Structure 1
Amino acid sequence: MNDLPDPAAAVDPVRLAADLVRCPSVTPREGGALALLERALAPAGFECRRIDRNGTCNLFARWGRKGAPRSFGFNGHTDVVPPGDEGAWSRPPFGGEIADGWLWGRGACDMKSGVAAFAAAAIDFVRATPPDGAVILAITGDEEGPAQDGTVAILDWMRDAGEAMSVCLVGEPTCPDTFGEMVKIGRRGSLVATFTAEGVQGHSAYPHRARNPLHALVTLLAELTAEPLDAGSAHFEPSTLAITTIDTGNRAMNVIPARATASINIRFNDLHSGQSLTARLQDACRAVSAATGVGITPEIHVSGESFLTPPGPFVELVAAAIEAETGIRPALSTSGGTSDARFVKDHCPVVEFGLVGQTMHQVDERAEIDQIRRLKAVYGRILRDYFA
């Protein structure tokens, strides 16, 4: 691992990102990534504290006094998904190689380069123009995993410790094709439901002597997918419902099984809540069970509610800084999957902006060197404009 830059010099986000990529921090391993960041932040005057919970490592770092009237927060994660078949990579997944204008390795795109960019921007900013307020970095090692003891643990600790962010920017990759083209101002909610149907096993030649759980599941799934959940809302695309699996484990072609399961995933907008969708699914199960005589039990997990940070001063500040640095006016979007912004939104207004995300989670994941440096410049401008 390379030594950190001279504490008196501007922080090179590419070098810091490369060092982070060399940390094998596959969830839930810390891999040295948070320790590396602490060594970079502490000499610049950041008070660093590890907020570890249930084996998950997290880092809270604050420059400025606790309880400052204005506090700008950054949120991100240093954990990464597994590299998969390392033999399929053209460069070592944890090599952090810089070649052909790219930083190569697992996490280079999602999202160690984003963390490096906002850490570098924050360090340079507080050294050059110490603000009247606080700068907070909340960095987790549990975003790609269960996400129960990561950002949630940091926010729980902040609440108990009297720490607060006035606003927060999450550094996830947000741009589909061109750097600067998109800011996330919200996210859809996510719900997973597994339906277990219990019938009566029998011979397929005598179906009247059995109660077929598959017929009941097919009926249920057909009803759930017959009509769209909605037509979208002012800031959200229409909600979606996708059947993800149907399973019986039955290898006998002349036997009606006694049990079968099916799962769906719903990505929902602000016209719904996890509670309203749960009630809807439970009602559908009861109706099909009554009609077929097959018991259907739903197991439902809501991993996040939909949320929106409405366009206003904070969103405009971020968008204007991006346009000033890139020449592109970013679209305000709520598309994509979930992120830790779904937890931060209960603490303070939150938006997301980061790199182009085309290679995240892929073999040969990489980030363009120029983009990493430009991302640091955007974050630095956002800090200057916020505290101006």
Structure 2
Amino acid sequence: MVQPKHLPEDRAQWDKVFLGAIGSPDPYGRQLDGLGGGISSLSKVCIVGPSTRPEADVNYTFVSIGIRGGSIDYSSNCGNMSAAVGPYAIDSGIVDIAPRNEEGGDLVTVRIFNTNTGKIINSTFPVVEGEAAASGDFTIDGVAGTASRVQLDFIKPGGSRTGKLLPSGNVTDQIAGVQATLIDAGNPCCFVSAAGLGVDGVLSSQQIDDNASLKQKLEEIRREAAVKMGLANSIDDVPGSVPKIGFVSAPKDTSVGNVVVRAMSVGQPHKAIPVTVALAVAAAANVTGSTVAECVVKSSEDGEPGIDINHASGKLTVGAEFDEEGHLQFATVFRTARRLMEGKVFWKT
């Protein structure tokens, strides 16, 4: 997390600052000479500052940093990092929202304008004695321990990059010989069925990583989908971060979730599911005939409007609300975030 006031006035200098701080490019893929962790989910920068928009408290720009090649990608948002923006805005003093009950804490909402997608995210979380609460009993599959819950409401997330929930105008398209649903909610995404790929839908992230032909096929589909969605003019100039791609299947037992999803992130199999991909799954689950909707299984006891997504590390609950005309009004997901450290980061050219 960094504020614009702490960066060079010349924005053309920002990229080399980010690369130098994170430790890219690193031909060994480890980012030992920087703050990165050698995987896509740890090679990120968030720029957060005050907003002049009446509907927002802060502006937030997400930057994805390539590991080996050192690419700089501003083309998408990150849902997991979005969870940290609200607490950071409070703790760093960008937003002054004093709690109404300092003894027990209280919920506050920080309105975030994401510059990557042009969308508003409402982040709601408890504040204790003027700081975002860190302790709590909320758990997330794939994340150790418990923490305070952060509720993220993505307001009208449809068309984040393309202007339409279904960028091609179709519920499904034939992409690289496979039936796919192309949807833009939170981030542009492409969903294909595991059966269409001829693979087991519950592969682990390691099994996916070991399957070179599967990864190659998924990247081929992703690049063709990008052109179909209008995100690139050719398969050679497709951004690394969008569209996201995942394969879906129906659960054998609804106790593990209502739909099974395995997602890729910048060429790597994700060990859980990116939040923005989960939002797109929730939206696609409500589109009759989509590859996702065809795999959703709900038991008679499921009375909640949201769905549980089974990912490589467990389950994630996510909900999407549509109006009577079928327009996506908002999508909601719950995460955690806490302050780990603050201070100076030294970078090199």
Range class of TM-score, shorter chain: under 0.3
TM-score, length basis structure 2: 0.26
TM-score, length basis structure 1: 0.24
Please state which structure has a larger fraction of its residues in strand.
Answer: 2
